[in-house]
Amino acid sequence: MFINDVFTPSRFEGKGEITLRGEKISYRSVSEDNVFYDENGKAIASIFSFSYFRDGVEDLSKRPVIFAFNGGPGTSSVMVHLGFVGPKRIKYKDDVDDMTGLPPYEVIDNPECLLDIADLVLVDPVGTGFGVLLDEAKGSQFYGVEEDAEALLSFMQSWLQRYERWMSPKYVIGESYGCTRAACAAGIAARGSADRYYDFAFDGIVFIGNSVSTGKFFNREVPAEPAVLGFPTYAAINWYHNTDHSVELDEWVHEARAFADSEYVLALYRGSSLKGKEREKVKKKIMYFTGVSDRYLEERNLVIEDASFRAEVIRDRGKAVSRLDGRMTRPLYNPFTDEIAYGLATDASRGKYNPYFISALEGGVFPSLGIHDFPRLYKPTTTINKKWNKEAELTTAQHLYNAMWRTPGMRSFFANGYYDMATEIGIAYYMLNHANLPEERVSIKGYPSGHMIYIGNDNIKSLTDDIRAFMNGDMPGDKA
């Protein structure tokens, strides 16, 4: 706990070298508090940032800055920091499912780091990581959809002023709820809020594990069958675990999505009126793409549910697949207990990777940043989402719409894991089909990964190559 009257902002500096694409690059780091004050000049909260600056850059006005963060709400930047953005990352095994969550852990130089082309800023929002709320009575100023986005904008403006980077190209990478944060921030920056106008713009946003939605708050209240939106993901997970891979994943998912958008959605609309040979034909296709059984479908009138699917798709092996990454598995604790009873607390990917990420950050990265003997505990994930104000004037898709139409030239790239059941790629397609965004400036791409699409060496390279191309003006993947 902090005594507000004696809070002193912290700042740490470090230096390092890394070889990227055959070039040795030296850099410096600054890890620091970014404090918010009330009208009396009293510190009430802090966003904590980890900034990496390449040495020897002559013209900073042409040097892009990337702001990156995770989601939650209530999640720190640790995953994107050590997953693929920072100069150091964890070392993966070839088999992503072969993890125990226990040592040995290994931190390595990140050969796909983007530091050669941009300076990097990792962001811990208020109440996450080293970010702190100093005055509990002021939590409502930060813990909400649009409140959180405005806090981010205020932090960005302060950072750009402090380091004289207003003239630099500005990019944002948001993961999961970080997509909501990024879209809202972009919309408010372009349109303003009830209290002020910001009038600054982003060159581009990379949305990882999409949570931008035409419905209210984080993919909710979308007027479409959830089973249809989830169908491409169910098909991808079945492809991974149960097929001989004679059909390429992209092709398989494309065919599954086409079926879901036509025959499957109509079958669900018809319900019990779909009978006889027609019903059997549709049912066989559902089983072919998703691996569920005839009994499963009959018990649910052809509707596939996320939670029950996780235990159904590899039922013959007595295991369940992860919600965050359908490649990963764990034994069923009780075959007679519905998988939904456990939720994310026992998700296979969390148990296998979270301890690795946190240990690597604390033991491998912080020392290189000059962070020693810091009495503040790092909070990778907190429960501030329980206090979150989910009400907002606009949907996240409307915020993004305002940003893109008011800022000619701004571009958006949606990167989604095929095996991600937390933010399914079908929801991203649905949003893009209904948000009226400028199609020539928006693209989407699926990756053979889960919610954290950078899990695995090949996925890191693929994602960072695509971000490089995006920053160079290309539009990776498919047009929206």
Q: What is the pTM of this model?
A: 0.94
Same domain, 168 and 206: yes
Answer yes or no: do 10 and 140 share one domain. Answer: yes
Residues 238, 176 within the same domain: no
* CA–CA distance, 268 with 441 (Å, rounded to integer): 34
What would the two tokens of residue 91 be? 């070392």
- CATH at 440: 3.40.50.1820
The residue among 464, 468, 361 whose CA lies nearest residue 112 is 464
> Which of 344, 366, 388 is the C-terminal boundary of a domain?
344
- Tell me the average pLDDT across 373-401: 90
Collapsing DSSP states into helix, strand and coil, what is residue 37?
Answer: strand
So what's the pLDDT on residue 390?
87
Please check whether residue 390 is in contact with residue 216, taking contact to mean a CB–CB distance below 8 angstroms. yes
Q: What is the pLDDT of residues 322-353, one digit of tens each?
A: 899 999 888 876 655 555 555 555 677 777 78
- The answer for 454, left when phi > 0, alpha when psi is -120 to 50, beta otherwise, is alpha
Q: Please give the residue range of the domain that contains residue 70.
A: 4-220+352-479
**Number of independent structural domains in the chain:** 2
Same domain, 61 and 169: yes
Q: What percent of the chain has pLDDT over 70?
A: 92
> Are residues 300 and 360 located together in one domain of the fold?
no
Average pLDDT, whole number, for the chain?
Answer: 90
Mean pLDDT of the 396-403 span: 94
Same domain, yes or no, for 204 and 285? Answer: no
CA separation for the pair 234, 421 (Å, rounded): 8
Whether residues 436 and 420 share a domain: the answer is: yes
Domain check: are 209 and 237 in the same one?
A: no
Percent helix, strand, coil in the chain, to 5, is: 40, 20, 40
CA distance 464 to 53: 18
Do 300 and 328 reside in the same domain of the chain?
A: yes
Q: Are residues 180 and 73 part of one domain?
A: yes
Whether residues 25 and 171 share a domain: the answer is yes
- 233 lies in the same domain as 335: yes
pLDDT of residue 219: 53
Distance CA 159, CA 138 (A): 22
- Mean pLDDT of all residues in 364-383: 92
Residue whose C-alpha is closest to residue 289's, from 332, 339, 338, 253: 253
Q: Residues 153-163: pLDDT tens digits? A: 999 999 999 99
Domain boundary among 315, 344, 373: 344
